[in-house]
Amino acid sequence: MATRSALVTGATGFIGGRLVSSLGNQGFSVRACGRRPRPHDLPQDVEYEAVDLAGGDDLAPLYDGVTHVFHLAGASSSNADEAEMERANVQATRNLVRAAPPGQVERFVHMSSTSIYGEEEQLPLPVREDVGPHPSRTYGKAKWRTEQVVQEATRAGLPTVVLRPVSVYGPGNVKLLASAILDVAIEAFAKLRTVPVPAKPIEQRLVHIDDLLAVTLHVAEADEAVGKAFNVVDGLYPSSHDIARILAGHFDLEVELADDPEAGPSHEERQRWHGEMVEQGMKQDIFLTKERFRFMRKTNRNNRVSIDALLATGFHFEHTDLEASIGSTITWYRDHRWIL
């Protein structure tokens, strides 16, 4: 087989960093880029370039010898304001696709998001990839405009595939479900007896990082994927209560359903206990959110998305036992002292 050479953008991030290792295991030579200096844990044989894709730098050298592009660079509302989301998603992608040498790249995989569908306008359920999106939040709007940049490049001949994952969890994740795990870890540290959660259940949707990486490698090979977009969700749709019970169970706590949606310790108390945990050796990688269980609070009328298109390409999800997959994620956090 001819040497396959990958360019991974966003390689200093959660998903990109994991993808770099997976590609190495699949025999790709890898050039990685992020804005930060080279991460210390990047494998030695991975080339690294620190570059702002939205700046004015010539990006053509990034493509030297590259057959497959995995474009994961981007910014979300947890780490960027509106202007930065536009810059890091839309402008960065425009610059990157414009620099692609005609006819050289065999596959350009773009990491978008199901946030493009929006939460306000009711779409036909489960939401299929060919529906007209109505993004309602700043992040979803930026990701949708980014997809349009990619679509334009597809029409100009770039063999693209767009992936639209839901919330990604697993080892290395620092936000969303990770923050909820930290919330419960803090309450266990504080020796609280119960974990109060709002009595009204809210349906969730998740995908494990290893399944997302497997999808990413799969669409890089599957010819029928070219020119298409795929939703990526494990299809389990647990409620906020299901997740809270799994998390609480791993810390020997009981869930208490509370009528007051703000029940539970205050932000100030949680910050104080968090500080004490850091003093006892906990690393501060996971985001401590102001609201407890922030990730589980949002209702979304378009929560259920179709994965028929992805399954039709022969893909199978492995992480369909949520209890086990969340359990091994918690073990990983404990082993790495991201929680105590």
Ligand X SMILES: NC(=O)c1ccc[n+]([C@@H]2O[C@H](COP(=O)([O-])OP(=O)(O)OC[C@H]3O[C@@H](n4cnc5c(N)ncnc54)[C@H](OP(=O)(O)O)[C@@H]3O)[C@@H](O)[C@H]2O)c1
Q: Mention every residue, 6+ apart, whose C-beta is less than 8 A from residue 15.
A: 72, 111, 168, 209, 212, 213
* Residue among 46, 85, 168, 307 that touches ligand X (CB under 6 A): 168
| Tally of residues, the chain | 340
Name the one range near ligand X by CB under 6 A: 32-40, 221-229, 281-289, 298-306: 32-40
Q: Does 23 bind ligand X (CB under 6 A)?
A: no
User: Taking CB positions, which residue lies at the least distance from ligand X?
Assistant: 13
* Residue among 75, 158, 188, 282 that touches ligand X (CB under 6 A): 75
Q: Does 326 bind ligand X (CB under 6 A)?
A: no
Around Cβ 338, how many Cβ atoms within 10 Å? 22
Query: Are the C-beta atoms of residues 135 and 118 closer than 8 Å to each other?
Result: yes
Taking the least distance from each CB to ligand X, the nearer of 62 and 192 is 62
Name the one range near ligand X by CB under 6 A: 28-36, 41-49, 252-260, 283-291: 28-36
Q: Does 216 bind ligand X (CB under 6 A)?
A: no
- Nearest Cα to 75, choosing from 83, 60, 67, 85? 85
Shortest spacing between CB 295 and ligand X, in angstroms: 10
Q: Does 118 bind ligand X (CB under 6 A)?
A: no
- Residue that the structure tokens 């997302």 belong to: 212
For residue 174, report the phi and psi dihedrals to the nearest 5 degrees: -120, 0
- Nearest Cα to 159, choosing from 98, 96, 63, 223? 223
Q: Does 176 bind ligand X (CB under 6 A)?
A: yes
β partners of residue 206: 167
Q: Does 62 bind ligand X (CB under 6 A)?
A: no
Residues in touch with ligand X (CB under 6 A): 9-16, 34-36, 52-54, 72-76, 79, 88, 92, 111, 113, 165, 167-168, 176
